[in-house]
Amino acid sequence: MKELGGREAPASEGRPQAAEGGWLIPRQAAGPLVVVAAGILLALAVRGPGIVLLMAGYVWLAFTALDVSLAVFVLVASIPVGLTLHGHGVRYSDLMAIAMGLGLLWKHREVGLRQLAGRVFPRAWAAPLVALLFFAVLSLVHAQSRLGATVKILELVEFFVVIVAVAADMGLSHRSWRLVLAALFLSGAAMAVYGIVQFLWALGPPSFQVYADHVRASGTYGQPNVFGAFMDQLLPLGVALVVLGPWKGLRGRPWLAGAVVLIALGVWVSFSRGSWVADVAAIGLMGLFVYANRRQLVAPYIGWGIALPIVLFGVATVLGKIHIVPNFAAAHSKHYSVGGRLVSITNGIHSYDNQQRLLIWGSALTAIRQHLLTGVGMGEFHNWIATRMPKGLVGVPPQASNLYLEIGADTGVFGIVAVIWLQYRWFAQSVKAIWNRFGELDPWFYALAVGSLGVFTAFSVHNLVDYMIDHGVIVPLLLAMGLIAAIVRDGRTRAAARDGAER
């Protein structure tokens, strides 16, 4: 197999290379997919029966073709439609995760308990994840709403256990990962188009106003920073696939290249400073490894990772001057611009937004000091601060606007340790994968490994000023975790087989 630069790449020892041709969707998935599609169409007219039919088909799909069910989940996870239980949003994506979890257990029903545990908790992340879940359960001691905290704990299980385990279970199957990533970038491109339309036609509240008569894109998330977080996790993965993958830019996969352009523009029109800084960090760190391992691809990497965003910065600025809705009225608006938001990144703590965030952070630190070992309850910081509002804070925040402070306030100081431990594993394992510590990677999985490092970087940097563990927005991160876990598992399996043969 040749890399893009023409150099011969050694095949992985004992690792089968799946063919790139053929159908992405296996034949046995056709029937359940028809039922799922019929349920979606019915739900447009009659919501309840439609969702019941949708879920019936999806359960069938999860027990028939688990990787296809993951692709469907990825495609629809960002759509905020679902059921409601006791006032806490239970979306059909939650129900899909339950179905996938059961499908995973069914698929491996004949293996031993130890092997099954290894499937549910991939070795790459098992220890820090178990620690985080333990401290999340312990936080129920002081939770004001044990039901609400329990729902948040179940979301952690859904996201970091079920979705990651199902993704890792695909192993290094080209067909499965191509299908899932096609769903991911289709969803991302569609969300980007929606966000761009929102920006141009001012389809949002006055508080989101930018320029004279546009608004910050928020997608289906209802909040620009969350939309930006989804976009900023997708961009480094897309750039890695376009430049480092087995295709050559526009000639290889024009749909992917087009999706990357839309997503890059989506990052800009979110006007999320956290997203902008996150992608600068991600593209920069990935670039170091491209320079070290694929120096012949530095020029196209600079083109897609640096030149393209700069060009789209100009595009976003020009679009901001186009008056499509000239009478847009926004009382008390801030009149942001792309350039203004860039300048505000270096303005220190003096802006109104930063002052509000500092008040929230101070309250989170107080919660950590008062509940050092158990926290106030998983997802309960917003309830805690509602009864202890600091002077000057204009409203109850939904979270602490910082991953570490939110987890610390929710679960105590050991929860922070578990999160930092997990993030350390993200970077350590992905760097090892890039450096072939788990075996030689072909261009497809090398690109995914580098892109996963970019996803981890974007998430970690953005979450210094936000807390983005929620439906849809976290999907790229979970897939990156599953991919790296699959590479680690594959490498360890082959190493064990070699050791056994030598004995």
The total number of structural domains in the chain stands at 3
Model pLDDT, residue 255:
87
> Residue 91: in which H helix or E strand, if any?
strand 88-91
- Verify that 156 and 245 share a domain, yes or no: no
Longest dimension (CA), the chain: 79
Angle between helix 224-244 and helix 174-201 axes, rounded to 10 deg: 130
In a domain, 13, yes or no: no
Give residue 392's region: left, alpha or beta (phi > 0; psi -120 to 50): left
260 vs 239: CA distance, rounded Å:
7
Residue 213: predicted pLDDT: 85
For residue 329 the two structure tokens come to: 């009225």
Which token pair is 449? 């490994």
Give the integer Cα–Cα distance in Å for 288 and 76. 34
In a domain, 127, yes or no: yes
The packing angle between helices 308-320 and 254-269, to 10°, is 50
The whole-number pLDDT of residue 333 equals: 52
Distance of CA 70 to the CA centre of its chain: 14
- The whole-number pLDDT of residue 89 equals 52
Within a domain: 39: yes
**CB atoms closer than 10 angstroms to residue 244:** 26
Answer yes or no: is 6 within a domain: no
Query: 20 lies in a domain?
Result: no
Residues 197 and 257 in one domain: yes
The verdict on residue 434 lying in a domain is yes
Residue 16 maps to a domain:
no
Last residue of a domain, one of 297, 331, 346: 346
Residue 446 sits in the same domain as residue 479: yes
Same domain? For 359 and 304 the reply is no
Close Cβ partners of 481 (under 8 Å, ≥ 6 residues apart): 124, 125, 160, 164, 167, 168, 426, 452
DSSP string over 214-263: EE---TTTTSHHHHHHHHHHHHHHHHHHHHHSSS-HHHH-HHHHHHHHHH
Task: Identify whether residues 238 and 314 lie together within a single domain.
Answer: yes
Sequence-ordered list of residues with C-beta below 8 angstroms from that of 448, at least 6 positions apart, any chain: 177, 181, 237, 240, 241, 483
* 288 plus 224 within the same structural domain: yes
Same domain, 125 and 245: no
Instruction: State both tokens at 95.
Output: 């129900």
Residues of the chain scoring pLDDT < 70: 1-22, 80-90, 247-252, 326-335, 343, 345-352, 502-503
Q: Are residues 208 and 336 in the same domain?
A: yes
Other beta carbons within 10 angstroms of residue 325's beta carbon come to 15
Query: How far apart are the C-alpha atoms of 463 and 456, rounded to whole Å?
Result: 11
Residues 162 and 229 in one domain: no
Indicate the Cα dihedral angle 94, 99, 103, 106, nearest 10°. Answer: 120
Same domain, 324 and 336: yes
Q: What is the pLDDT of residue 92?
A: 77
Is 89 domain-assigned? yes
Q: Within this chain, do residues 164 and 54 fall inside the same structural domain, yes or no? A: no
* Domain with 252 in it: 181-346
Neighbours of 158 (CB within 10 A): 19
Domain boundary among 293, 316, 346: 346
- Of 346, 375, 401, the domain-final residue: 346
Please tell me the pTM assigned to this model.
0.91
Q: Are 400 and 472 within one domain?
A: yes
Closest CA to 392 of 419, 357, 359: 359
